[in-house]
């Protein structure tokens, strides 16, 4: 059974990771019990993402897997401890910064994969989508760190619970990275405005470069 699961994780690693990222970001669409989300669903989602990322780091070296597993352990433990120590002044800021590192580490590995092969297949497409949603994850937790440092940095956030703050910031990050920008949630300081603008530029750069990479791979594959 274990060899079969290993092969499946290797074969469908990017598809599995993509589905787990979508569930982590947008499960609020179907979930109304926000305290249950904070206490149970959030840690479970992180565990699922950690398991899904195993395939990405297969055969990547012991040091990378140690770093990834250490970040994953923190990503699971920290949300579980929110009910106990979440009231401490800088706890949520530290949690958010650690999540940025965790998702950034996975994103770097996916970007390295995208630039290597000279062909295009379903893995390339799925990995490209993973990279896009990882940008949204990083943006969400960076904005969350800024918000917990200064709750006036971003206006019109529902601060009723940790879950409502997170979901509002997922929405805000999604419309920032896609450059839709409805204007209902807005940055409220010069620093935050510049960081939001930087993420908008970075997401467009990712899209443009990714299109170039995909076209190049497709042309190379057709020539062969």
Res. 144 pLDDT band, cuts 50 70 90 = very high
Tell whether the model's pLDDT for residue 32 goes beyond 70.
Answer: yes
As a whole number of angstroms, the distance between CA 186 and CA 155 comes to: 5
The span from the first CA to the last CA of the chain, in angstroms, equals 38
State residue 80's pLDDT score: 79
As a whole number of angstroms, the distance between CA 41 and CA 28 comes to: 10
Q: For residue 211, give the H/E element and its range.
A: helix 190-223
Q: Each residue of 43-102: pLDDT tens digit?
A: 888 888 887 887 777 666 778 778 887 888 888 787 778 777 777 778 889 989 999 999
- Mean pLDDT on 155-170: 92
State residue 9's pLDDT score: 63
Q: Could you tell me which residues come within 8 angstroms of residue 182 by beta carbon, excluding any fewer than 6 positions away?
A: 175
pTM, 2 dp: 0.89
Q: Could you tell me which residues come within 8 angstroms of residue 21 by beta carbon, excluding any fewer than 6 positions away?
A: 49, 52, 130, 133, 134, 137
Q: Each residue of 3-23: pLDDT tens digit?
A: 555 566 667 788 888 998 999
The per-residue pLDDT of the chain, averaged, comes to 85
State residue 223's pLDDT score: 67
Domain extents in the chain: 2-223
Neighbour tally for 198: CB within 10 Å: 12
User: Is the model more confident about 122 or about 107?
Assistant: 107
| Distance (Å) of CA 160 to CA 27, 82, 173, 223 | 18, 15, 19, 57
């Amino acid at each position: 059974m274990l060899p079969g699961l290993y092969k499946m994780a290797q074969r469908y690693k990017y598809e599995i990771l993509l589905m787990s990222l979508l569930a982590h970001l947008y499960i609020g669409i179907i979930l109304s019990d926000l305290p249950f989300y904070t206490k149970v669903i959030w840690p479970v989602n992180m565990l699922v993402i950690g398991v899904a990322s195993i395939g990405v780091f297969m055969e990547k070296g012991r040091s990378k897997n140690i770093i990834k597993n250490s970040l994953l352990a923190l990503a699971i433990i920290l949300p579980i401890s929110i009910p106990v120590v979440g009231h401490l002044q800088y706890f949520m800021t530290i949690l958010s910064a650690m999540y940025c590192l965790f998702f950034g580490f996975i994103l770097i590995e996916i970007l390295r994969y995208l630039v290597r092969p000279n062909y295009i297949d379903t893995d390339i497409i799925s990995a490209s989508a993973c990279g896009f949603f990882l940008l949204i994850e990083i943006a969400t937790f960076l904005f969350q760190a800024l918000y917990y440092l200064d709750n006036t940095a971003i206006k019109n956030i529902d601060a009723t619970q940790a879950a409502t703050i997170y979901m509002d910031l997922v929405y805000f990050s999604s419309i920032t990275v896609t450059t839709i920008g409805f204007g209902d949630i807005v940055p409220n300081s010069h620093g935050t405005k510049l960081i939001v603008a930087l993420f908008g530029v970075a997401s467009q750069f990712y899209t443009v470069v990714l299109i170039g990479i995909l076209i190049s791979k497709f042309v190379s594959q057709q020539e062969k």
